[in-house]
Amino acid sequence: MAITLVNPEGLPEVGAYRQVSVASGSRLVFVAGQVAWDADGVTVGEGDLAAQVERCYLNVATALAGVGASFDDVAKLTVYVVDWTPDKMPLFAEGVTRAAAKLGAAPVPPGTLIGVAALDVPEHLVEVEATAVLD
């Protein structure tokens, strides 16, 4: 595997992700921001943050699988959430947990969550992009 996830001493341990990833592979994979669309471009979970987070993570997994990768190869996630406030964290975590259960793996690479005013389509509440490394 080309990615090693680490929680260095001196930084807090966060259950949702690791603080650092070390990439030893030679091929970079950049996954465009994935929103809560199904394969036909229909929004899934309109108005439901947990459902949209779940779908975004599943879409990232689908994109990765298309190039022979998985969440095990992800070095970094960036998540954009419309009108983010800390009280939305339980819904966000619920969506990640549901996706992890379907994927059979917990997506825990380093990540950044950014609150934004809006996304490309008004119904979209979240967008997830990934960078992966393959051998």
Q: What residues contact residue 74 under an 8 Å CB cut-off, 6+ apart?
A: 3, 21, 60, 64, 107, 109, 130, 131, 132
Amino acid 56: pLDDT: 98
Mean pLDDT in residue range 60-65: 96
The whole-number pLDDT of residue 9 equals 94
Task: For residue 42, give the CATH number of its domain.
Answer: 3.30.1330.40
Q: Are strands 74-82 and 27-34 parallel, antiparallel or unpaired?
A: unpaired
- pLDDT, tens digit (0-9, with 9 covering 90-100), for 77-127: 999 999 999 999 999 999 999 999 999 987 789 999 999 999 999 999 999
Position 93 scores a pLDDT of: 94
pLDDT higher than threshold 80 for residue 1: no
pLDDT number for residue 14: 84
Question: What are the beta bridge partners of residue 115?
Answer: 81
> Count of domains in the chain?
1
Tell me the pTM: 0.91
At residue 92, the pLDDT reads 97
Rounded mean pLDDT, 50-61: 98
d(CA 43, CA 28): 29
Q: What is the pLDDT of residues 6-32, one digit of tens each?
A: 999 999 988 788 899 999 989 999 999
The range of the structural domain enclosing residue 29 comes to 3-134
